[in-house]
Amino acid sequence: MRLMLHGCAYWIWWKLRAACPKRSPWRRAQFDTLRLHLVKLAATIVEKKTRIIITLPASCPRRGLLHLLFDALAPPKAA
């Protein structure tokens, strides 16, 4: 079970890194660097019936990159 969980976590980090812009340094960053700079943030998360709302702080230094990643990783919209 532990091996499966680590494999799933690796796949999620790999997808996050692959969603970064092609010419950005984040595309080649190590997973620990991504964790420290992109995931460990103070954000407000609200779960609605059909979506999840994430509110970033006003002083977030990587707000543009995070918005780009959220859009890239969002599920496709149903027709």
Does residue 37 register a pLDDT over 90?
no
| pLDDT tens digits, 41-73 | 788 889 999 888 888 888 888 888 888 888 888
Whether 43 and 54 have beta carbons less than 8 Å apart is answered as yes
DSSP three-state, residue 1:
coil
Distance spanning both ends of the chain, measured CA to CA? 37
User: Average pLDDT over the chain, rounded to whole?
Assistant: 85
Q: Which residue has the higher pLDDT, 26 or 78?
A: 26
